Amino acid sequence: MVIMTSSETFRPVLERIAEEISRTPGRGRPADYIPALAACDPRRFGMAVAEPDGTVHGVGDWRQPFSVQSVTKVFTLALVLAREGDDLWDHVGREPSGNPFNSLVQLEYEDGIPRNPFINAGALVVTDRLHTRSGDASGALLDFLRAESGNPGLGFDQEVAASEAAHGDRNAALAHFMASYGNIDNPVPVLLDQYVRQCSVAASCADLALAASFLARHGVRADGTRLLTRSQAKQVNAVMLTCGTYDAAGDFAYRVGLPGKSGVGGGIVAVVPGRCTLCVWSPGLDERGNSVAGVAALDRFTTLTGLSVF
């Protein structure tokens, strides 16, 4: 039965989802290739819903900070798009890759232009361009997240950053390869440092649901100023829908029906334009790098509420 949700009924929906998730036996495995994430308990679960006016509802571990990882790619994309507009798309595409998020395969065939901003190669290009524009890509990102979430305590997890830097050979290869095609402006070591710091942000479901609310407000920030045009906000949401969950984007769109962006820390941000933003966290991942419980929870949310872009 579909429940047409008003703000007063978000909480019971979240509580029902949490209760159902608690009875789910298979929860996946944490990202063991990043040592700092490998010890996370895959049965942890939190979920938050933020309304456009800043009201937040949550359940479970929704106030627990976790490693945001690739979810930050949504925010860096928005910050660069706000600065460069359509010029950005000369350097990165908007198509699903169909390959793992750290694949090198397509870059050689496509002259160093990554398929989309959410695979690692594309995110490196976006971070590079933000660093050129701002002088401190990770700092610009952190300032934005603090302002939009209302949490000045957000910061980088130095242990996670060091762990990723020590196991970042594939990202270094991607960056050097794109640099050979002239698609990277900054020195590769500088870019890699900015990129791992960006991915090491620690934030909670509440923080991220609030921070992403500008996409539900069609580009308008928490203070009422406009970051993106309405058309640009649509573009970000569209790329999230088609490319935001690695090479499982089709299945995610089929099951959930919302723009979403996942990270290997177990977080997923999703957007219902005009209505709300969501963030769910559970560290156990499937073979494609998406949170098992997180996808299931978002699937149940759209089923129970009838909120979808379709």
Q: What is the 3-state secondary structure (H, E, C) of the chain?
A: CCCCCCHHHHHHHHHHHHHHHHCCCCCCECCCCCHHHHCCCCCCCEEEEECCCCCEEEEECCCCCEECHHHHHHHHHHHHHHHHHHHHHHCCCCCCCCCCCCCCHHHHHCCCCCCCCCCHHHHHHHHHHHHHHHCCHHHHHHHHHHHHHCCCCCEECHHHHHHHHHCCHHHHHHHHHHHHCCCCCCCHHHHHHHHHHHHCEEECHHHHHHHCHHHHCCCECCCCCECCCHHHHHHHHHHHHHHCCHHHHHHHHHHCCCCEEECCCCEEEEEECCCEEEEEECCCECCCCCEHHHHHHHHHHHHHHCCCCC
Which position among 188, 264, 269, 292 bears the catalytic label?
264
Which position among 92, 195, 204, 291 bears the catalytic label?
195
Query: Is there a catalytic annotation at residue 188?
Result: no
Which position among 56, 73, 138, 269 bears the catalytic label?
73
Which position among 67, 70, 138, 200 bears the catalytic label?
70
Which position among 196, 213, 246, 291 bears the catalytic label?
246
Query: Is there a catalytic annotation at residue 73?
Result: yes
Query: Is there a catalytic annotation at residue 22?
Result: no
Query: Is there a catalytic annotation at residue 261?
Result: no
Query: Is there a catalytic annotation at residue 254?
Result: no
Catalytic residues: 70, 73, 195, 246, 264
